[in-house]
Amino acid sequence: MKSITTYEQWQEVVQREIHLLLFVKTTNCSVCEGLYPQIDELQSSVSVPFYVVNAAEVPELAGQLSLFTAPVVILMLQGKEYIRYARFVPVQEVMEKLQELQKWEESNV
């Protein structure tokens, strides 16, 4: 996963990418650390770009995206939030939604 370290960087990524997955974690979050490798592993199955951000290090992003907990997985499509999973993240369902995004891209190219 590519890291997002500033809000400005996030804005550039959203404008550039057709679709993406954003994994939001925070400092000292054991659930985040346990979930991260499971989500990261999904990258090999789809062409959707993956990004990670620490909400404690980029509080402006947390505020703009209304992030009140961690971990959070957000799927974006054409600059808009497509779906969000917070705290309890069903990895299989995330995979299914990633496949939907990939099919959408393939049918709209």
Cα–Cα distance between 13 and 26 in angstroms, integer? 20
Reduced to 3 states (helix: H, G, I; strand: E, B; else coil), residue 78 is: coil
Q: What is the pLDDT at residue 92?
A: 94
* pTM exceeding the 0.85 threshold for the entire prediction: yes
Q: What is the pLDDT at residue 102?
A: 85
Q: What is the pLDDT at residue 6?
A: 94
Long-range contacts (CB closer than 8 Å, 24 or more residues apart) made by 28-33: 29/70, 29/71, 31/70, 31/71, 31/87, 32/70, 32/71
pLDDT digits (tens, 9 = 90+) for 29-49: 999 999 999 999 999 999 899
Domains of the chain and CATH, by start: 2-107 (3.40.30.10)
pLDDT interval class at 87 (50, 70, 90): confident
> CB of 24 within 8 A of CB of 71?
yes
Pairing of strands 2-4, 50-54: parallel
Average pLDDT on 47-57 reads 94
pLDDT interval class at 68 (50, 70, 90): confident
Please count the helices (runs of H) and the strands (runs of E) in the chain.
4, 5
Q: What is the pLDDT at residue 85?
A: 95
Q: Is the pLDDT of residue 71 over 80?
A: yes
